[in-house]
Amino acid sequence: MYELYYWPGLQGRGEFVRLALEDAGAEYVDVARRATDEGGGVPAMMRLLRSERAAVIPFAPPFLKAGDLIISQAANILFYLGPRLGLAPEEEGARMLANGLQLTIADVVAEAHDTHHPIASDLYYEDQKDAARLNASAFIRQRMPKYLGYFERILTRNPRGDGQIIGAAITYVDLSLFQLIEGLAYAFPRAMARFETHYPALARLRDAVAARPNIARYLASERRIAFNETGIFRRYPELDEDTA
């Protein structure tokens, strides 16, 4: 059984890992969401993060415990889990491509976070509103179309594709693209209003992932934490804007 460690109450970077585990029907425990009297909760996570004995200490969640292994960073966790869950290509070159795409998704996620916290993560949003407006506008008008356009091109050029981005089968990258699109649509509904027109292949991918049986059950369950204003993708109407 896998043990996933991430902050309770928000999707964040942990959600990219959850989607892979849920899609594969893997047995896992979301440790920090468990009751403390069952060995879970934030204290259980902090014991590992602050361990004075462990040889490998993650810098921050998410991290995954698989037997004796402790694996940190969402892209690194998915690189490990992908082959074991049947969510990675078999060919080495394709696996490297998948990892590169996942790292690019991580870049978008970091930039999306910085739209509301452009100065410092330990400051409140209200302390950096002016800088956030400037950053969000640049992200919406320049960076977001550049990233989404790139993924659209890769998706449409997959020679073996039937709606997935790599090879002939769904991979963890497709699941992560679904989460990225959903997060951007939550945070910037006005900017994403024409998403389906500008990025039809990505729109089809999003719908296909949402319709996968295990994903559909997960999205309808209490295990799926709703987007909220403590996560990476936050809806502040003043940061959203229409695009042509």
- The 10s digit of each residue's pLDDT in 186-236 is 999 999 999 999 999 999 999 999 999 999 999 999 999 999 999 999 999
Answer yes or no: is pLDDT of 15 > 90: yes
Average pLDDT across the chain, whole number: 95
d(CA 86, CA 84): 6
Mean pLDDT in residue range 138-163: 95
Residue 66 CA to residue 28 CA, distance in Å, equals 10
Task: Provide mean pLDDT across the span 67-84.
Answer: 96
In a domain, 175, yes or no: yes
Interatomic CA distance for residues 59 and 75, integer angstroms: 14
pLDDT digits (tens, 9 = 90+) for 31-51: 999 999 888 999 999 998 998
Do 75 and 142 fall into the same domain?
A: no
**How many domains does the chain divide into?**
2
110 and 144 in a single domain? The answer is yes
Query: Is a pLDDT exceeding 70 seen at residue 244?
Result: no
Is the pLDDT at 161 greater than 90, yes or no?
A: no
Rounded distance between C-alpha atoms, residue 176 and residue 15, angstroms: 9
pLDDT at residue number 4: 98
Q: Looking at the structure, do residues 99 and 40 belong to the same domain, yes or no? A: no
* Chain segment 91-100, per-residue pLDDT in tens: 999 999 999 9
- In a 3-state reduction of DSSP, which class is residue 159? coil
Question: Which CATH number is 185's domain given?
Answer: 1.20.1050.10
97 and 156 share one domain: yes
Residue 115 to residue 93: CA distance in whole angstroms: 34
Q: pTM for the complete prediction?
A: 0.96
Q: In this structure, is residue 21 part of a structural domain?
A: yes
Domain that holds residue 99: 92-212
- Quick one: which of 160, 145, 139 has its CA closest to 202? 145
Quote the percentage of the chain above a pLDDT of 70: 100
**Ordered alpha helix ranges (H), 64-128:** 74-85, 92-116
Determine, yes or no, domain membership for 40. yes
Residue 99 sits in the same domain as residue 183:
yes
